[in-house]
Chains A and B, each alone.
Chain A
Amino acid sequence: MSRSVLVTGATTPLGVAFVNSLLADPEVSNVLALGVEERPAALVEHPELTYARSDLRRPRHIRRLLSGPVRELGIDTIVHTALHRSARDEGGAIHKLNVESTRLLLRLAAASEHIKHFVYRSDATVYRVRVSAPQVLREDHALELTPDAPQWVRDRVEGDVIVCTHMGLVDLRIMVLRCAEILAPNMGSQLADWLGSRMTLRPMGFDPMVNLLSLGDASEAMRLAVHSDKQAILNVPGADTLPISRVAERNGRRCVDVPGPLMGPLYRLRGRARKGDFRYDLNHNRFHFSMVLDGRRASEVLGYQPSHPLQWPAVPAIRG
């Protein structure tokens, strides 16, 4: 059955890749791409594509959007991918985008007569990673609900929980996709930021396994979710599972081992000096303990199989 899709966060690399994949899909009749910035050049010109500027932090913008172009274009599916991408920014405005916009979009979508599907792009940050945790995580793994977790994590968990708690409560088919880290620039990837210098630091004596997702696989998983009539929470792993030291190596970075307790102070200093976005406090556990998403449910429910490995180097070389 043909779908008309609203895509939030359409100006990110993932948004662009996803919108372009929808436009190539004959089962999609209309795409309404939403971003706060000017229309990106990477979005192809297409008669079925409408681009709208809207600030999801403003409830009025969301209401206007739902009562305007969403209704006019007969949108029946919302794919909500918008998340703030800088880990250093915190505060109410970020929370509005990450959490409150999700809550309002869900409420308005549920009240709408023509919107039937809601796909939420969550990520693996929501899972609690500890020494006692399994290395391959299923969807029922504990969420990171530690009260002192940074806002970056809290917002993502809250957004995920909000969407999950609506399953069965509202007349919408809801799909939550917990994506592995998308290793690409401008995607809010902490690992991409970690690779933002020629020399990367790693806690001495630890080399955990990480699973990485490509833009191609992430957008394919979302495309499959758009066409699914099922309701589910699904992990979306990528095709690349490797030790963190290999991630640095494959991107041409030199990995220097430093004693674990020095990692935090060194990255704080580096952050102050170079305005990097990498925060070691967000990544402490994943730099010590392996975490790989189990994608069997996504395979069963969506028929999703990671098939687009990353093209190395996934993060551009440092110049100068």
Chain B
Amino acid sequence: MGVPLTFRLMEKRYLTPELRAHLEGLEIADTGHGFDSFGLNEEWIRAGAGVFAPLYDSWFRVDSTGIEHVPTEGGAVLAANHAGTIPIDGMMIWNDVLRKTTPPRVVRTVMDHFVNLLPAISIIFGRCGAVGGSRGNFHELLERGELISVFPEGLPAIGKPWSDRYTLCDWRQGHAEMAIRHGVPIVPIGVIGSEEQLPTLMRLPIHLFGLPYLPIPASPVPLPTKYHIYYGEPIPVHEDYRRDQADDADVVREASERVKAAVAGLLQRGLSERTGVFR
């Protein structure tokens, strides 16, 4: 399935000449037919950058600090807070890293398994680099030296109550284990703006396409909150721990707690620096 016409038109309309030129530097591990073995495709990345551009530039007016902390080569795990009913935070991180790294790097966003059961969405996300959240995928991508973005709070965080915004939920540890095992750093990310974008009114117990529930948002469209993405200094788990310590539960817990504390610190900083939800 090729890139749909609507996406091509949006790409033509919203991709600036500078951004188009920047994306010329994209390099993917093409297996011979224009795709990598996970389905990533350059045409779709360009189209994705075009489709997300109005959201990134005009609706959420994303700004970011600390992009220099994202490695320009080699593997790394990007770990961020998660919220907002629909995973716009993941899309904005994907866009931000794609635009601001040179050469442009495609973040491989780790999605919950149910996303791969969603018709069309599974294709769009897959072609733009997202992968299902299995250990095997994580392992393979880190071995290839890719950037992986994860939300250690997992799916429950996306439906976080309004009163819990910017409070980190249960913090999973798999990302720390995999980073230690593969000897890569973890870059903590604090996303400000996502946790107010679409408050959930209620959850209906409808499990269409494997969805854990059907969220009923308080607004028909996401609110135009101002996004601020803070990339923290990389946590050098690859230097602080030996690879064989990936099997040590205490070490993994300690490493993941360091990541959690770093993300919480970035959120504190972001909340204190912003002047309003929409500014």
Closest chain A residue, CB of each to CB of B121: A205
The CA-CA distance from A309 to B32 in the complex, in Å, is 9
Of B13-21, B130-138, B165-173, B179-187, the one touching chain A? B130-138
Number of A-B contacts (CB under 8 A): 83
Closest to A133 in B: B134
Cβ contacts under 8 Å, B140 to chain A? 134-136, 294
Contacts A241-B35, A243-B1, A292-B37 given: A132-B123 contact, CB under 8 Å?
no
Measured between alpha carbons, how far is A136 from B121 in the docked complex, in Å? 20
Q: Which residues on A sit within 8 Å (CB–CB) of B163?
A: none
Name A257's closest neighbour in chain B (CB-CB): B1
Q: Are B122 and A206 in contact (CB under 8 A)?
A: yes
Does B5 touch A at the CB level, under 8 Å?
no
In the complex, are the beta carbons of B31 and A241 less than 8 A apart? yes
The yes or no answer to A204 lying at the interface (CB within 8 A) is yes
Shortest Cβ gap from A206 to chain B (Å): 6
Give chain B nearest CB distance to A212 CB in angstroms.
Answer: 10
Is the CB of B39 closer than 8 A to any CB of chain A? yes
In contact, B136 and A205 (Cβ under 8 angstroms): no
B136 touches A246 (CB 8 A): no
Q: Given the complex of chains A and B, what is the CA–CA distance between A289 and B117 in angstroms?
A: 9
Interface size on A, residues (CB 8 A): 31
Cβ–Cβ contact A207 & B32, under 8 A? no
Which of the residues B1, B33, B136 comes within 8 Å of A141, measured between beta carbons? B136
Interface centre among B31, B35, B135 (most CB of A within 10 A): B31
B39 touches A134 (CB 8 A): no
> Is there a chain A Cβ closer than 8 Å to B113's Cβ?
yes
Distance between Cα atoms of A59 and B198 in the complex (Å)? 69
Indicate if B210 sits at the interface (CB-CB under 8 A): yes
Q: Is B119 an interface residue (CB 8 A)?
A: yes
Determine if B123 and A206 form an interchain contact, defined as CB atoms under 8 angstroms apart: yes
Interface string of B105-148 (1 = CB under 8 A from A): 00000000110111111110010000110111101100000000
A86 and B131 CA atoms in complex are apart in Å by 34
Indicate whether A242 sits within 8 Å of B135 (C-beta atoms), given known contacts A136-B140, A204-B119, A260-B119. no
Enumerate chain A interface residues (CB-CB to B < 8 A).
131-138, 141, 203-209, 211, 239-243, 245-246, 260, 288-290, 292, 294, 309
Query: Footprint of A on B, CB under 8 Å?
Result: 1, 31-33, 35, 37-39, 113-114, 116-123, 126, 131-132, 134-137, 139-140, 210
10 further A-B contacts with Cβ under 8 Å, apart from A131-B117, A206-B119, are A131-B113, A134-B134, A134-B139, A135-B38, A136-B38, A240-B31, A241-B31, A241-B32, A243-B35, A245-B1
Pairs A–B under 8 Å by Cβ, sample size 10: A134-B136, A134-B140, A135-B39, A207-B1, A207-B123, A209-B35, A209-B38, A209-B39, A290-B38, A292-B37
